[in-house]
Structure 1
């Protein structure tokens, strides 16, 4: 499973760091939307890098956005994170509206870095840079 994220966003980078710490089975790989790989995955899902308001979770030919992506990621982390599904009964239009508001305002609320997030040496292999690797996991 590949997570496409905004490497300039401090909230998004913190999310990736959280996943690196808690993904003990090493299920997830990562591609920043600023990379060739991330841009290719976004395009494949019909999304544009400009004005992006979601992270993207890609699993083969399937992809998820907004809160559906978050729930699936937390589910794969196992207990206690999979308890997030308790929020699933909330209507998607409400969950996703709150998510999109946060995403639109992420730089103002959480900050922005001029430099992209750089993973620790032991995690570098989990990050995808090339378009070829992204489209042929």
Structure 2
């Protein structure tokens, strides 16, 4: 097969969430960097043979870029890094260990049909182009005015921050439950050899109940942040947790302190975006309506029998 330097995204053509992901990428790839290929197409079979892909890799989004093969969460992050717009904020997830990222990805991939459903036939995206490689149509629209641009920018920032915060806590919350984030077992601390981080990790790993309590708080805040109507409540729960984690990271010299500092700043920024709403809830007391009787009332005589 003739080699092509253009990155190719291979996806499950009957998977609903995979097809939504493809459409999501196409909208944020105006230069047409990527080509897309369904795993059910004949062309995909040739690429699978050429690159010796195994069954485990085929149960994932696959990115082929300059003869390099990327799968699972790493493929997603490489794709996001080439897109345009605020979605690129999600490349910050590189700081999360690959094992943790991939465990969450595998859980979603394994249950993708159960959670999101599947198509009876290969997506129209593939049927439309017989060879399986998708093209794009550039949309020409009217230039938006400044007010509309600022509103869209504000909503984009809020949505990006919400999802970044939610996904980070969701990943770490699940990791605390399985396979476990902290160290367990007997530990004798030696200040001349052991780091402060080791001490903190054994402290948090000592009690399973406390570990589950932290995980429950992080997952609850994450789920509330994902839902627009409960996002403000989720962020109110989120902020004290991430502030506490940030202080611990600095005090115990945990390398993730740069990430937790960023998460704290994003959480605070979301509160500022919701300032008017929070002000109405916590500071503005409802004003009692003043009613006054008209002075020119008509007097009527009432006969009581």
Contact 1:29/1:127 (<8 A) preserved: no
Higher mean alpha-carbon deviation, 7-16 vs 30-39, is at 30-39
Query: What residue number does 1:88 align with?
Result: 94
Query: What residue number does 1:133 align with?
Result: none
2:18 maps to 1:12 = yes
- Give 1:48 deviation, angstroms: 4.1
Q: How many residues are treated as equivalent by the alignment? A: 128
Query: What residue number does 2:67 align with?
Result: 61
Unaligned runs of 5+ in 1: 130-137
Aligned equivalent of 1:128, options 111, 115, 133: 133
Q: Work out the CA distance in 2 between the residues paired with 1:116 and 1:72.
A: 25
Contact 2:28/2:85 (<8 A) preserved: no
Runs of 4+ residues deviating >6 angstroms: none
CA separation of 1:35 and 1:48: change in aligned 2, threshold 3 A: farther
Aligned equivalent of 1:35, options 32, 41, 45: 41
Q: Work out the CA distance in 2 between the residues paired with 1:110 and 1:73.
A: 22
2:108 maps to 1:102 = yes
CA separation of 1:74 and 1:125: change in aligned 2, threshold 3 A: farther
Identify the structure with the greater helix proportion.
2
- Give 1:68 deviation, angstroms: 0.9
When normalised by structure 1's length, the TM-score is 0.81
Query: What residue number does 2:211 align with?
Result: none
CA separation of 1:51 and 1:76: change in aligned 2, threshold 3 A: closer
Q: Work out the CA distance in 1 between the residues paired with 2:54 and 2:118.
A: 19
When normalised by structure 2's length, the TM-score is 0.38
Question: Which structure has the larger Rg?
Answer: 2
CA separation of 1:48 and 1:40: change in aligned 2, threshold 3 A: farther
Which fold has the larger relative contact order, with Cα–Cα distance below 8 Å and residues 6 or more apart in sequence? 1
Query: What residue number does 1:26 align with?
Result: 32
CA separation of 1:55 and 1:120: change in aligned 2, threshold 3 A: closer
Unaligned runs of 5+ in 2: 1-6, 135-305
Higher mean alpha-carbon deviation, 90-99 vs 19-28, is at 19-28
Cα deviation code 1:31-54 (max 9, x no counterpart): 100011222323344334688321
Q: Cα RMSD over matched residues?
A: 2.6
Q: Work out the CA distance in 2 between the residues paired with 1:9 and 1:2.
A: 18
